[in-house]
Chain A
């Protein structure tokens, strides 16, 4: 069973460009979480999605950031008009549904975004 997959692993964008980060959850997992890790800091929750639904986006910046988890395909975190402050590692985690017990999250390897 493949783990959580994220791509690309490294992404370089110039200021003003768009960044698209992809996350494929573990097989059978229907819950996806995105976290951001700024340099020298812990991970901060951004958004929680289930298939075709955003459940909690309380950690997402109000502008330029959006996320989706379509019925088919990976979850996408999209950052429009990137700025230097968006440079960070973005982690995706997935978990099975609540009915299957403790909501243990499995993390992907992260995408390191660098804005130049």
Chain B
């Protein structure tokens, strides 16, 4: 079974600065997807960014980018020019899209990192 570990329960950053959230995972699969979700106080789960494991290029979405190290099974999220609205819980998630049919699409989440952006 896959596992996802986020070793930072809480992080804080000053507005306009850069912060990196860590995520490691364990799998024996070669083809999979990784995601970062944001959960603000409203509790709505919002997809921030995704990475396909077969792609070497790191995904980027505006101020959000990832550092995907497949060999090390590491998938960190970098937030540049942090904004107050970035304050939220961030979850790293793993998906194996080819897992024997029955597990198709199932997301495995990490424990989450609470990010606070200070003015």
Residues of A in contact with B (beta carbons under 8 Å apart): 31, 33, 35, 41-45, 48, 55-56, 58, 89, 91, 93, 95, 98, 102-107, 109-110, 112
Q: What residue of chain A has the Cβ atom nearest to residue B114's Cβ? A: A40
Interface string of B73-117 (1 = CB under 8 A from A): 000000000000000000100010100011111111111100000
Query: Interface size on B (CB < 8 Å)?
Result: 25
How far apart are A21's CB and chain B's nearest CB, in angstroms?
A: 15
How far apart are B62's CB and chain A's nearest CB, in angstroms?
A: 18
The interface residues of chain B lying within 8 Å CB-to-CB of A45 are 106-108
Q: CB distance B97 to A43 under 8 Å?
A: no
How far apart are B17's CB and chain A's nearest CB, in angstroms?
A: 26
The interface residues of chain B lying within 8 Å CB-to-CB of A41 are 111-112
Query: How distant is the Cα of A110 from the Cα of B91 in the complex, in angstroms?
Result: 16
Mostly helix, strand, loop or mixed at chain B's interface?
loop
How far apart are B44's CB and chain A's nearest CB, in angstroms?
A: 5
Q: Contacts A89-B43, A103-B95: A56 and B103 contacting too (C-beta < 8 A)?
A: yes
Mostly helix, strand, loop or mixed at chain A's interface?
strand
B30 within 8 A of partner (CB):
no
Q: CB distance A42 to B109 under 8 Å?
A: yes
The interface residues of chain A lying within 8 Å CB-to-CB of B101 are 55
Q: CB distance B50 to A33 under 8 Å?
A: no
How far apart are B58's CB and chain A's nearest CB, in angstroms?
A: 17
Q: Contacts A43-B109, A56-B102: A109 and B50 contacting too (C-beta < 8 A)?
A: no
The interface residues of chain A lying within 8 Å CB-to-CB of B64 are none
The interface residues of chain B lying within 8 Å CB-to-CB of A112 are 43
Q: CB distance B43 to A110 under 8 Å?
A: yes
Partner of B43, one of A42, A58, A109: A109
The interface residues of chain B lying within 8 Å CB-to-CB of A31 are 105
